[in-house]
Amino acid sequence: MSVDQKITAMDVWHLQLPVNARRDHGIGSVEHVVDIVVVGLTAEGGQTGYGEGSSWSVFTGSAEASFAALDRYIRPLVVGRSIGDRAAIMADAAYAVAHCTEAKAALETALLDLQGRISGLPVWALLGGKCRDTIPLSCSIADPDWEADLKLMERLREDGVRIIKLKTGFKGHAYDMMRLEELRKNYPEFKIRVDYNQGLHHDNAIRCVQEVATFDPDFIEQPVKAHLRSLMARIRDSIDIPLLADESVFGPEDMQTAIAMGLCDGVSIKIMKTGGLTRAQTVARMAQSVGLSAYGGDMFEAGLAHLAGTHMIASTPEITLGCEFYQASYFLVEDILQTPFEVKDGQVIVPQDAGLGVLPDPDKLTKYTLTHSNGSKA
């Protein structure tokens, strides 16, 4: 391997992947399909590395924007560059197109996967080395049909999953209290976390959160709108349960504000918000340096993004609250990987093979492709 090996080709796909249920959240619903982009970078010698950008239009942005960011604005910064220039390419991409953090996450993942495959090293080795071999998995409970979620709870129990995150704030406070009561009564072996996805109105947020806190969840996540930072700080002060920030904190810049304003006890870290794996590590280290905890969150992802998040968390000891990489196993009708994203006894298994450890299946890429570009003007 030479670090001077050039990147010779870049492919970008926009995929639509069918899902098996509906999920409701404080900021919006997901039904029928999820949209992702996949980028493939090929180097001299023919090796290809892959990365995924998992967009959600109400949260980070649209898949169409991610596709355009990669295909039009980032492509000229990548093709012809050396695989050893990852940091320079990422720095250029940060300024080439504003926002589009999922596109930048996909780019850095593909650069790392490519470098790992060529060098024979897992991505976690390129990110500083490994601190764990497994990561506790949390599955989200968000179906508007409560009976359907109870069936999912039985499946999780059988599979050995022992952490759930109840999505709240989309159907009223009484509905949230009813579900918490039932979960506590019938599933005592589960750890419960609560995530509002900004769903509470500022008028009654403190009262609702205080009542939910009586069920003693591990934490309560993002009860109000992302920009209501002072209110987040007041809610934090009003409860004994840790308050997590998600939509309020995308990257290190937001983390700095969150620390200065005292708005949370911890942060949900997602490579799709930070714009890559190394910036996610930065957020985790900023959090830990002031005594805040960190959780491995995700978007509506396929297995390729789960793998990127797994390698990032495997090399980031500051993330101690587990992960939520459940979609490939429990939400997608079919994932895009050649072999299934590995979860065993409620734990995500950290891959040991080169790069991300698993490649996407080319037939599945073709099957679910809406748009594909290799940069040629057909």
Nearer to Mg ion, 118 or 272 (CB): 272
With binding defined as CB under 5 A, does residue 176 bind Mg ion? no
With binding defined as CB under 5 A, does residue 218 bind Mg ion? no
Q: Give dist(CA 235, CA 198) in Å, integer.
A: 13
The H or E element containing residue 303 is: helix 303-314
Stretch that binds Mg ion, among 84-92, 145-153, 214-222, 272-280 (CB under 5 A): 214-222
With binding defined as CB under 5 A, does residue 298 bind Mg ion? no
Backbone dihedral angles phi then psi of residue 164, each to the nearest 5 degrees: -130, 155
Number of amino acids touching Mg ion (CB under 5 A): 3
DSSP state string for 34-75: EEEEEEEEEETTS-EEEEEEE-BTTTTB-HHHHHHIIIIIIH
With binding defined as CB under 5 A, does residue 254 bind Mg ion? no
Nearer to Mg ion, 118 or 249 (CB): 249
Site string for Mg ion, 119-138 (x = CB under 5 A): --------------------
Stretch that binds Mg ion, among 14-22, 193-201, 313-321, 334-342 (CB under 5 A): 193-201
Q: How far is the CB of 25 from Mg ion (least distance, A)?
A: 8
Stretch that binds Mg ion, among 29-37, 246-254, 276-284, 328-336 (CB under 5 A): 246-254
Q: How far is the CB of 195 from Mg ion (least distance, A)?
A: 4
Nearer to Mg ion, 321 or 354 (CB): 321
Nearer to Mg ion, 246 or 318 (CB): 246
Residue 167 near residue 48 (C-beta atoms within 8 A): no
Q: How far is the CB of 4 from Mg ion (least distance, A)?
A: 42
- Count CB atoms within 10 A of the CB of residue 25: 21
Residue 240: what residue type? D
* 118: three-class secondary structure by DSSP: helix
DSSP at 83: G
Contact with Mg ion (CB under 5 A) among 71, 85, 113, 246? 246
With binding defined as CB under 5 A, does residue 195 bind Mg ion? yes
Q: How far is the CB of 367 from Mg ion (least distance, A)?
A: 30
Q: Which of 57, 82, 71 is nearest to 14 (CA)?
A: 71
291 contact partners, CB below 8 Å, separation of at least 6: none
Strand 48-54 vs strand 33-43: parallel, antiparallel, or unpaired? antiparallel
Residue 320: what residue type? T
Which residues here bind Mg ion, judged by CB under 5 A? 195, 221, 246
